Amino acid sequence: MKQKTPVMPDTGADDETPPETENLAALPSALLPLREEVLANLAMLAQIPAPTGEEAQRTQYILDRFVAAGLPEAGPDEAGNAVGFLPGKSGRRTVMLVAHLDTPIPKDADHNVFVQADRIVGAGVADNSLGVAVMSMIPRCLEELGIHLDSNLQFLGSVRSLHRGDHEGLRFFLDHAQRPSDFGVVVEGIELGRLNTFSIGTVRADIICDVRPEYERGYGAGSALIVLNHIINRLLKISTPTRPFTKIRLGQIKAGALYNVEPNHGELGLEVVSDSNEMIDRIVGEITDIVAESSARNAIDTRLDCFFRREPGGIPFAHPLVKSVVNVMSQLEIQPDQAHRPSELSEFIAHGIPAVTLGITTGETHIRRPDFVMIDPILTGVAQIIGVLLEIDRGACDEQ
Amino acid sequence: MNNEAWLAQRTFHHSNFWDIKWLVEEKQRQGLTISLCLPTYNEEKTIGKEIVILKSELRDRYPLLDEIAVIDSGSTDRTLEIAASFGADVYLAEEHLTECGSHRGKGENLWKALYLLKGDIIVYVDSDINNIHPRFVYGLLGPLIKDPEIHYVKAFYDRPLAFSHGLRPTGGGRVTEILTRPLFSLFYPELTAILQPLSGEYAGRRSILEQIPFPVGYGVETAMLIDIYEKLGMSGFAQTDLDTRHHRNQETIALGRMSFGILRTMFNRLTREQRAQFSGELPKIMRQFNVQDGHFEQVEYLIEEIERPPIIEIDAYMQKFHPELQPANS
């Protein structure tokens, strides 16, 4: 293997004072020889369907990448996550990089990827094939740059993250990890500049309505759709304060198949988000009452299924990890955007691990048409991840 | 070697050659250079992905390919811009070997590739493949690197799979089954063992490709098989199963024109070998019909099926690749 000239200084585990990370702005250019490899990795990965719960083929793909990159430890865990480990020189710290393998795209959808001059287009390329592709390329990038970290790097392609998966893969790993992580970096495809440091408290639930058989009905609605409409009207009357930020989102409704038949089954998907746990408890209590009352009044079976709960929390803006990330972004001329967006960050928060969620490039994500990601900013996004690893490695992110 | 023995010994699956690192080591040990040729004409939708994946996997990660070149027939879309931006060498066919004139067609690009590219082995891969994967290249190179007796490897995309009621027939596309295989059965029975004679992916040694003529149009794949067969017999061939290939399907009417070109190529060879005779020159016009508002309209297509000579007959080629055979200047 050819000898690489280090672009960045060796972070020097034995030094008394860790060196400042310098020359970060040169990193994207130094990564240029890997551009096609990153794009190829994205294109091949994105063409593997991976709806939640069916990520096995992607897991194998990522494990193959880990092995090819020379990671001494690479294999699946019991949950089906793709796990890789790159030991640091001293292993004083362990940094975990995670990207979720599953996508919201059905298996039978067209997964063909198009590589255009300025962008890559395809189902799920932004959420989250690019995040996975970059996460799995970090060992290659470090090798290309001649960087040998003092810290251990723990890589995880996580399964069952989305929807009812409820971050199951990452949670399993964090619950059972043999080596506790000191820091976490959640890698998402878009947007470059994304800097999530806190997680809003969230409950996700389905209200499931089944009309009783005709002979059991006293009086009441014959249509699940009408019942759900009554429930929606009641939900809209629940008062939510501006502070602490609280919101009820009605996100999905499913009922009926034909124009001439009133449905006997319906489902309403909703989300309650708030900065306050107490507020979430109050609202979930009110929704529970509404559903129970509706069930009794309409003589039908209606139930509330809360399948997802995330506690509010995170690290403060003053945390050294956040300051370091902002510093890295500044050197790479990335504008930080700290608006909240859901990610697997909440699992790190729940486990008391300082963590951030970072995006790689600009683009758009869609459900009914293909995502796209812009090619040009990708290497800046990769450089940002490496910059953050270097900051963590030199101890700049440690709490005093 | 009869057909069954040939099938058993010379039919591979791409997974036989999954160890790309070994292929690279063996290629280097043999001192081989390998070029990938992607013939294009308005392929902006697929060319980017082909180059990115093949370059990344087979040149950057594993240096199996020494060059990746797009040879274009005059695209009017962004094919050339995209190809160049992802690191392929880009050639416009009409700008090279100008002393030989210019014709438009895939075969023209493949023929000029022999002059433009440097490899001892040339891999030809069509540019319209949606599910491109490195196997499309290393699956074809594997037999050539493994066995020096093999000179030409053809792709196929189907395997006889065991069904509940036995084996199902494997086969090629519509033109293969309706035209090419019946013709081969009549005149070149051994070549019927090539499961998909019209597949657009194949690899060959320069030493044989430089000796055969190239039809510039539809007949190039058929001609290659017949002409290499005439020189080397079946022992020069192998074929590799590349699993599935997703690409644009052509309309039946377009396949009719393709069949016309293949028939002309086939008849050229039969008359050349004095196995068939026709009084006078065969027509070059293919007639098809459109119907609109109850009226039938005849459409005539000129399909000349021009053939390029073996490229060793071209001075510029010989000067570049075989200078030792050039007469010394007096």
> Is the domain of A148 the same as that of A230?
no
Please, are residues B214 and B227 in contact by the beta-carbon 8 Å criterion? no
Q: Quick check: bond before A128 cis, omega within 30?
A: yes
> Is the domain of A102 the same as that of A168?
yes
pLDDT digit string, tens, across residues B1-41 = 788 899 999 999 999 999 999 999 999 999 999 999 999 99
Prediction pTM value: 0.86
A73 min Cα distance to partner chain B (Å)? 21
Decide if A71 is inside a domain. Answer: yes
Region A216-223: mean pLDDT is 63
Q: Which two tokens stand for residue B80?
A: 């050339």
Please, are residues B86 and A36 in contact by the beta-carbon 8 Å criterion? yes
Give the burial string for A352-383 (b: 16+ CB within 10 Å, else e): ebbbbbbbbbbbbbeeeebbbbbbebbbbbbb
- CATH number for the domain spanning A237: value is 3.30.70.360
What is the pLDDT confidence band of residue A2, given thresholds at 50, 70 and 90?
very low
Q: Of the residues A282, A310, A338, which one is the last residue of a structural domain? A: A310
> Is the domain of A98 the same as that of A187?
yes
B243 touches chain A (CB under 8 A): no
> Is the domain of A180 the same as that of A58?
yes
Domain borders along chain B are 3-325
Lowest mean pLDDT among A3-12, A183-192, B141-150, B249-258: A3-12
Alpha helices in chain B (DSSP H): 3-10, 20-30, 47-55, 79-85, 106-116, 135-146, 174-175, 181-187, 206-209, 220-232, 252-272, 315-321
CATH topology for B3-325?
A: Spore Coat Polysaccharide Biosynthesis Protein SpsA; Chain A (3.90.550)
* Contact criterion met (CB < 8 Å) for A37 and B56: yes
> Is the domain of A130 the same as that of A227?
no
Residue A221 reports pLDDT greater than 90: no
Find the helix packing angle between A378-393 and A320-331, rounded to 10°. 140
Q: Of the residues A265, A284, A310, which one is the last residue of a structural domain? A: A310
pLDDT of residue B123: 98
Q: Which of B149, B154, B155, B141 is nearest to B24 (CA)?
A: B141
> Is the domain of A62 the same as that of A195?
yes
Interface probe, candidates A113, A115, A119, chain B, greatest B C-beta count within 10 A:
A115
A217 min Cα distance to partner chain B (Å)? 50
Please, are residues B149 and B235 in contact by the beta-carbon 8 Å criterion? yes
> Is the domain of A178 the same as that of A207?
no
Please, are residues A342 and A330 in contact by the beta-carbon 8 Å criterion? no
Which chain A positions have a beta carbon within 8 Å of B45's beta carbon? 114
Q: Smallest Cβ distance to A36: which of B56, B133, B246?
A: B56
Rg of chain B on CA atoms, in Å: 20
pLDDT of residue A183: 98
Q: Cα A393 vs. chain centroid, distance in angstroms? A: 23
Which helix H or strand E contains A173, and what residues bound it? helix A168-176
Range of the domain at A188: 24-199+312-393
Region A387-396: mean pLDDT is 97
pLDDT of residue A338: 85
What does the alpha-carbon distance between residue A188 and residue A161 come to, in Å, rounded to a whole number? 12
Lowest mean pLDDT among A35-49, A58-72, A301-315: A301-315
What does the alpha-carbon distance between residue A248 and residue A270 come to, in Å, rounded to a whole number? 7
> Is the domain of A176 the same as that of A62?
yes
pLDDT of residue A260: 85
Please, are residues A152 and A99 in contact by the beta-carbon 8 Å criterion? no
What does the alpha-carbon distance between residue A263 and residue A268 come to, in Å, rounded to a whole number? 13
Residue with tokens 């096609």: A36
Q: Smallest Cβ distance to A40: which of B57, B85, B130?
A: B57
pLDDT of residue A400: 75
Sheet of A371-374, strand order: A114-115, A119-122, A371-374, A363-364
pLDDT of residue A169: 97
* Contact criterion met (CB < 8 Å) for A40 and B55: yes
Q: Cα B147 vs. chain centroid, distance in angstroms? A: 20
Residue with tokens 């991976």: A50
Bridge partners of residue A247, in order along the sequence: A273
The sign one gets for the Cα dihedral B204, B206, B211, B217 is positive
pLDDT of residue A214: 58
Which chain A positions have a beta carbon within 8 Å of B133's beta carbon? 44
> Is the domain of A123 the same as that of A243?
no
pLDDT of residue A218: 58
Which helix H or strand E contains A293, and what residues bound it? helix A277-298
pLDDT digit string, tens, across residues A228-237 = 999 999 999 9
B147 touches chain A (CB under 8 A): no
pLDDT of residue B245: 81
Burial of A217 (0-12, 13-18, 19+ CB in 10 A): middle
Cβ-Cβ contacts under 8 Å for A4 (sequence gap 6 or more): A143, A144, A145, A146
Q: Which two tokens stand for residue B176?
A: 């293969």
A119-122 vs A301-310, strand pairing mode:
unpaired
**Structural domain total, chain A:** 2
Which chain B positions have a beta carbon within 8 Å of A374's beta carbon? none
Please, are residues A383 and A360 in contact by the beta-carbon 8 Å criterion? no
Three-point CA angle B240, B120, B219, nearest 5°: 55
Q: Cα B280 vs. chain centroid, distance in angstroms? A: 30
Q: Smallest Cβ distance to B53: which of A44, A68, A112?
A: A44
> Is the domain of A187 the same as that of A227?
no
Q: What chain A residue is nearest to B60 in terms of C-alpha separation?
A: A37
| % of chain A surpassing 90 pLDDT | 77
Decide if A261 is inside a domain. Answer: yes
Q: Smallest Cβ distance to B55: which of A36, A47, A68?
A: A36
pLDDT of residue A342: 80
What is the pLDDT of chain A when averaged over all its residues? 90
Q: Of the residues A249, A279, A310, which one is the last residue of a structural domain? A: A310
Which chain A positions have a beta carbon within 8 Å of B80's beta carbon? none
> Is the domain of A147 the same as that of A83?
yes
Q: Which amino acid is at A156?
A: L
Give the burial string for B18-49 (b: 16+ CB within 10 Å, else e): eebeebbeebeeeebebbbbbbbbbbbbbbbb
Bridge partners of residue A246, in order along the sequence: A274
Q: How many CB atoms lie within 10 A of CB A122?
A: 23
What is the pLDDT confidence band of residue A91, given thresholds at 50, 70 and 90?
very high
Decide if A161 is inside a domain. Answer: yes
> Is the domain of A69 the same as that of A210?
no
Low-confidence ranges of chain B (pLDDT < 70): 158-172, 328-330
Strand residues in A216-349 grouped as ranges (E): 246-255, 265-274, 301-310, 313-314
Region A146-157: mean pLDDT is 97
Lowest mean pLDDT among A353-357, A378-382, B157-161: B157-161
